[in-house]
Amino acid sequence: MSTLIKNISSLVTIHSCSSPFKAGKMMRDIGEIKDGALLFGEEIEWLGTTQAANEKLTSGSISPDKIIDARGKTIIPGFVDSHTHIVFAGSRANEFARRLRGATYREIAESGGGIQTTVKATREASIEELVENGRMLALSALKHGTTAIEIKSGYGLSIESEMKMLRAIKILKQELPIHVSATFMGAHDFPPEYKDNHQKYVDLICNEMLPAVAAEGLAEYCDAFVDQGYYTIAQAEKIMETACNFGMKIKMHCDELACVGAAELAGKLHAASADHLLYISDEGIQALKESGTVATLLPGTAYFIRLPYAPARKLIDAGAIVALATDCNPGSCFTENMQLILSLAVINMQMTAEEALTAATLNGAAALGLSDSMGSLEAGKKANFLILDVPTYEDLFYHFGINHVEHVFVNGRKVV
Amino acid sequence: MSTLIKNISSLVTIHSCSSPFKAGKMMRDIGEIKDGALLFGEEIEWLGTTQAANEKLTSGSISPDKIIDARGKTIIPGFVDSHTHIVFAGSRANEFARRLRGATYREIAESGGGIQTTVKATREASIEELVENGRMLALSALKHGTTAIEIKSGYGLSIESEMKMLRAIKILKQELPIHVSATFMGAHDFPPEYKDNHQKYVDLICNEMLPAVAAEGLAEYCDAFVDQGYYTIAQAEKIMETACNFGMKIKMHCDELACVGAAELAGKLHAASADHLLYISDEGIQALKESGTVATLLPGTAYFIRLPYAPARKLIDAGAIVALATDCNPGSCFTENMQLILSLAVINMQMTAEEALTAATLNGAAALGLSDSMGSLEAGKKANFLILDVPTYEDLFYHFGINHVEHVFVNGRKVV
């Protein structure tokens, strides 16, 4: 069953050419085809101009089962949201409203708020509740254009509850219509039981959690929060080396609250991605560039908790591979909408529309090792794309705050 | 036909008590009823707790035709968007993308861009095209919770094309399911024909445009852009006094680009509202407070064109009446989504969730002289309200970037 979409006002391919990602200046080259056409089954079979498609139809070299007209519409690759925490329990809405009324983080933490609220609720929740919450958010993300999503554990912080989270992610992976990547993040924070003995918890992660996660094959990635007051460079290095020995790939929350040299470590360990990077040093930027580690920026978080934004321009201008993701989570950034992330990226991080699109598609896929099959529209890649109700990709940025996704195709099937 | 909605998790009334608006500290008092109930026909008949509603049902003192369960939902008054420019023609998407790639305003203006692009397209457009564009945006605004909207002329800048815009707004007023207020804004900019003779254009506004607008009864308000490089205090005063003589009320774009004392003039003239106010002086704040002029803040514009935000806290703390609106327009802020404006207000202007809700409902209504019939949920007011898919009003701010409107009621009728 093959379908041809014709008369696409703006067809954005993000064509990756020889490289599975785009770094630096290359991010501006989004391979737009005006009045484009797209032929696909489960995978993309061919793309070009409508005129070329008409010639192929006339000559009989293609004979699609179905032809769709997309006059006035834009087609772009589906978003790859490579950093989320959408499996959790409990709400921190009231805590957020208190914060708006002037309560400080310390006051909220002292009255039992903060991440520990989510840890407590997640530990108490059934796996069904976790799946239900994650499903709701993933389906909402899909309606806003996300066709592949990464989900982290990290609100259990005990072997049982981390395994419960990862099993919930596994269920979502099986039942959701979009691709799901799973990340183990036992090192998200320290659990209350180990608040005075961090080293013992690091040992627990390395000696018990990672072997158990690996035995069930529950996670492709291992992540840790490497920052002031959280995991040290030495602790992170030990966790990451152990994870590598179990065949997992590496992601790291780096330098979000202070410059601690976490990005340098991510580069040294050839992590798949280094995320946040609000306080990344110049050495950190060089390290990421040299290792080919994707710099994943999360402007929703800087917005929501009023932090400075990551130095996107500096990273891109230095030639790094920059990706954009939501960081959707119940504490510091509760949004699953990648279109809003694009807006924040161009307005508050001075990225261009073209760079932001590349970062949210191909480079997001690269951060999940998926860029050989997703993230751009090219023959042989999965037919994962969005039909937007706007005549040019520029309108996606210009007319902001609105969900412009009209339809979503995943593996060639219309799911929205 | 009366309907009772029961078991409303969070019913936000914004009860106005004796005053048709809320100023300063009073903005935090949103009159939330937990587990609330709402009885309405075209107007609100009664509201209270579900328990009280059940007692009334049992005693037979109310007998609604229909009962709806709103467990897990929040109900708030419909948003009143008191400042928009949604009637226009043409797109400036490409100009915006160029700006993101580094083009300056001057470069864009010199290559024929900026507001003159919209003026040219609007002059050339048919009235049907203007109505169609405005209708699309107003209906999208409605889907995001706007139940009353103000629309300005000001992209014609000639007598014929300003009248054409106002007639388009009149058609929208007749056909849209929401309330529309019309504002004449011939003094939005200077047209190219008068770029070297501003005074002559001011005379045209006063001697020809205003009489023509008044003769057809096309506008309730007159507005002018009083700022550096635009209308001077003296020009604005002349225009406003003329408008008053024709029975129109006053709104003014004040101190958006520089502090020129426009807010002081708005106070002196007892304008209904002074809008933008990014550079308002302390004297301006006092003037607005003393005159009871609504200070209408438009954080979407500050966001979109990267300006500093208006001093919302200073205005509220000084006891002013603060409203929030979108400023939806094709150049400096292309969004019709009031929920995004609420998010920007709490994140970037340090307003509380409660202040933002009051500003977007009751105080928006006050800026349009409608607060006796709209903007809060009270017996006798129009049944204009939103059913949100969240359990508390706090979630509307906490879970951001998503359209939380499930249903919209206008005059008691479900329109979304």
The string of DSSP codes covering A149-165 is EEEE--S--SHHHHHHH
- Quote the tokens at residue B278: 């990014």
If you average pLDDT over residues A263-267, what whole number do you get? Answer: 98
- Residues A210, A70: one domain? no
- Residues B359, B270: one domain? yes
Residue A370: which pLDDT band, with cuts at 50, 70 and 90? very high
- Quote the tokens at residue B291: 């005159």
| Domain-ending residue, one of A350, A367, A384 | A367
Only one residue has tokens 């179905």, namely A66
List all residues of chain B from 247 to 276 with a beta carbon under 8 Å from chain A.
none
> A101 CB near a chain B CB, below 8 Å?
yes
As a dihedral over the C-alpha atoms of residue A68, residue A70, residue A76, residue A77, rounded to 10 degrees, the angle is -10
> A66 CB near a chain B CB, below 8 Å?
no
For an interface test with A, the pick among B9, B96, B313, B327 (most A C-beta atoms closer than 10 Å) comes out as B96
**Residue B248 near residue B214, CB atoms below 8 Å:** yes
* φ, ψ (nearest 5 deg) of residue B280: -60, 140
If you average pLDDT over residues A248-264, what whole number do you get? Answer: 97
- Residues B19, B125: one domain? no
Check CB contact under 8 Å for B300 and A346: no
Tell me how far apart the alpha carbons of residues B87 and B82 are, in angstroms, rounded to a whole number: 14
Tell me how far apart the alpha carbons of residues B54 and B50 are, in angstroms, rounded to a whole number: 6
Only one residue has tokens 């802020």, namely B333
- Quote the tokens at residue B46: 């009664």
Residues 6+ apart with CB under 8 A from B92: A398, B113, B117, B118, B330, B331, B334
- Residues A363, A386: one domain? no
Measured from the Cβ of residue A390, the count of other Cβ atoms closer than 10 Å reads 21
If you average pLDDT over residues B144-150, what whole number do you get? Answer: 98
Question: Between B362 and A110, where is the model more confident?
Answer: B362
* Beta bridge partners of residue B12, listed in sequence order: B32
Give the residue numbers spanning the domain of B333. 79-367
Tell me how far apart the alpha carbons of residues A223 and A239 are, in angstroms, rounded to a whole number: 9
**Residue type (1 letter), B233:** I
Number of domains in chain B: 2
Query: What's the pLDDT score for residue A18?
Result: 67
Residue A107: which pLDDT band, with cuts at 50, 70 and 90? confident
Measured from the Cβ of residue A330, the count of other Cβ atoms closer than 10 Å reads 26
For an interface test with A, the pick among B86, B91, B94, B100 (most A C-beta atoms closer than 10 Å) comes out as B100
- Report pLDDT digits (tens) over A28-77: 999 999 999 999 999 999 999 999 999 999 999 999 999 999 999 999 99
Query: What's the pLDDT score for residue B44?
Result: 98
Tell me how far apart the alpha carbons of residues B153 and B173 are, in angstroms, rounded to a whole number: 14
Whether the predicted pLDDT of A307 surpasses 70: yes
> What percentage of chain A has pLDDT greater than the value 70?
100
> A304 CB near a chain B CB, below 8 Å?
yes
If you average pLDDT over residues A317-329, what whole number do you get? Answer: 98
If you average pLDDT over residues A22-26, what whole number do you get? Answer: 93
Tell me how far apart the alpha carbons of residues B163 and B153 are, in angstroms, rounded to a whole number: 8
Tell me how far apart the alpha carbons of residues A231 and A225 are, in angstroms, rounded to a whole number: 6
- Residues A102, A243: one domain? yes
Check CB contact under 8 Å for B340 and A97: no
- Report pLDDT digits (tens) over A144-168: 999 999 999 999 999 999 999 999 9
If you average pLDDT over residues A342-366, what whole number do you get? Answer: 98
Query: What's the pLDDT score for residue B16?
Result: 75
Among the partner-chain residues B96, B340, B346, the one whose CB lies closest to the CB of A401 is B340
Kindly list the residues from chain B whose CB atom is less than 8 angstroms away from the CB atom of residue A138.
none
Residue A140: closest CA among chain B residues belongs to which residue?
A: B402
Query: What's the pLDDT score for residue A281?
Result: 98
**Residue type (1 letter), A45:** E
Whether the predicted pLDDT of B295 surpasses 80: yes
Whether the predicted pLDDT of A366 surpasses 80: yes
- Residues B16, B91: one domain? no
Residue A347: closest CA among chain B residues belongs to which residue?
A: B304
Tell me how far apart the alpha carbons of residues A153 and A136 are, in angstroms, rounded to a whole number: 17
Tell me how far apart the alpha carbons of residues A193 and A139 are, in angstroms, rounded to a whole number: 35
Cα(first)–Cα(last) distance of chain B, in Å? 19
Whether the predicted pLDDT of A183 surpasses 80: yes
Whether the predicted pLDDT of B76 surpasses 70: yes
Q: ipTM of this predicted complex?
A: 0.97
- Three-point CA angle A363, A367, A369, nearest 5°: 105
- Residues A65, A92: one domain? no
For an interface test with A, the pick among B30, B394, B397 (most A C-beta atoms closer than 10 Å) comes out as B394
Whether the predicted pLDDT of A16 surpasses 80: no
- Residues B255, B329: one domain? yes
- Residues A220, A257: one domain? yes
CATH of the domain at B404: 2.30.40.10
Q: Flag the least confident range among B102-106, B216-220, B291-295.
A: B102-106
- Residues A56, A156: one domain? no
Check CB contact under 8 Å for A398 and B97: yes
- Residues B71, B127: one domain? no
If you average pLDDT over residues A284-310, what whole number do you get? Answer: 97
- Residues B147, B253: one domain? yes
If you average pLDDT over residues A127-154, what whole number do you get? Answer: 98
* φ, ψ (nearest 5 deg) of residue A130: -65, -45
Check CB contact under 8 Å for B394 and A94: yes
**Residue type (1 letter), B183:** T
Residues 6+ apart with CB under 8 A from A86: A133, A134, A137, A138, A141, A149, A151, A328, A329, A336
> B347 CB near a chain A CB, below 8 Å?
yes
> A336 CB near a chain B CB, below 8 Å?
yes
**Residue B157 near residue B186, CB atoms below 8 Å:** yes
Query: What's the pLDDT score for residue B113?
Result: 83
Q: Smallest Cα–Cα separation from B184: which of B212, B148, B207, B147?
A: B212
Q: Smallest Cα–Cα separation from B21: which of B349, B322, B324?
A: B322
Percent of chain B as helix, strand, coil, to the nearest 5: 40, 20, 40
Residue B18: which pLDDT band, with cuts at 50, 70 and 90? low
Helices A338-348/A353-360 angle, 10° precision: 140
**Residue B13 near residue B377, CB atoms below 8 Å:** yes
CA A4 to chain centroid: 29
Residues 6+ apart with CB under 8 A from B62: B2, B4, B39, B45, B46, B53, B56
CATH of the domain at A341: 3.20.20.140
**Cα four-point dihedral sign A15, A20, A21, A22:** negative
Q: What is the DSSP letter of B158?
A: S
Q: How far is CA B185 from CA B71, B107, B182, B205, B210, in A?
A: 45, 26, 10, 9, 10
Q: What is the DSSP letter of B28?
A: G
Secondary structure element (H or E) that encloses residue A6, with its range: strand A3-12
Furthest CA-CA distance within chain B:
74
Q: Smallest Cα–Cα separation from A346: which of A397, A395, A298, A391?
A: A397
Residue A20: which pLDDT band, with cuts at 50, 70 and 90? confident
